Chain A
Amino acid sequence: DAGVIQSPRHEVTEMGQEVTLRCKPISGHDYLFWYRQTMMRGLELLIYFNNNVPIDDSGMPEDRFSAKMPNASFSTLKIQPSEPRDSAVYFCASKLTGTGYGEQYFGPGTRLTVT
């Protein structure tokens, strides 16, 4: 298996622009998580899905952020409009039910820079 795939790996954009980050979870995994990592705040859970349904979006910072999972093999995290404080590394992770509260598999991340 190729693991969790994220694209793009790097994104540089100007303030006010729309940014879309993409994730393909491991085939067969039914949980998908979006995290954000910064030096100041560490690794924060933004939202997670189970069977394509958003379960908990309490970590989404504000209305500028939205996430979708139209099918089991694809999810997007969108920021509109982007701001410099959104600069961070965004990770997607997936997990399989049946492993209990087991391990999550992380993608390589998307490094977002908003100027």
Chain B
Amino acid sequence: SQQGEEDPQALSIQEGENATMNCSYKTSINNLQWYRQNSGRGLVHLILIRSNEREKHSGRLRVTLDTSKKSSSLLITASRAADTASYFCATGGATNKLIFGTGTLLAVQP
């Protein structure tokens, strides 16, 4: 079963613009992770934020976490055509299981 619901389901932007994706979840978590999936490929880990963190950066990625609202956002700045992919949030709890969200399909137009 999916815990994370992501919005929007699909997003189309121009190269150079910023892309923001949101994730909402239902139960308490230990950490939240974001993954990217290119068409026909496996998922690739992007960034992890722990439940006691509010914001984290990695290159052009910025992730925020609001545990009171049970939500997270992923911001990709200065997007490139190569960023075109599906992006998934995944929540981790007390076990080693990850529960994945529904995903956002991002299309970056050159």
Chain A residues packing against B (C-beta within 8 Å):
4, 31, 33, 41-45, 48, 50, 55-56, 91, 93, 95, 100-109
Contacts and interface: CB of A to CB of B under 8 A. Distances in A.
A32 B97 CA distance: 11
A56 B103 contact: no
Interface of B: 1-2, 30-31, 33, 35, 41-45, 48, 88, 92, 95-103
B44 A106 contact: yes
16 contacts: A4-B42, A31-B96, A42-B2, A42-B100, A45-B98, A48-B97, A55-B95, A55-B96, A56-B95, A56-B97, A101-B96, A103-B33, A104-B43, A104-B45, A107-B42, A109-B41
Contacts of B41: 108-109
A101 B31 contact: yes
A27 to B, nearest CB: 17
A31 B92 CA distance: 15
Given A43-B100, A95-B96, 6 more contacts: A42-B102, A43-B88, A91-B43, A101-B30, A101-B92, A103-B33
A48 to B, nearest CB: 7
B1 A44 contact: yes
A61 to B, nearest CB: 12
Nearest to A3: B42
B33 to A, nearest CB: 7
Contacts of A91: 42-43
B88 A103 contact: no
Contacts of B100: 42-43
B61 to A, nearest CB: 14
A31 B2 CA distance: 21
Contacts of B92: 101
Contacts of B33: 103
A93 B84 CA distance: 23
B42 to A, nearest CB: 3
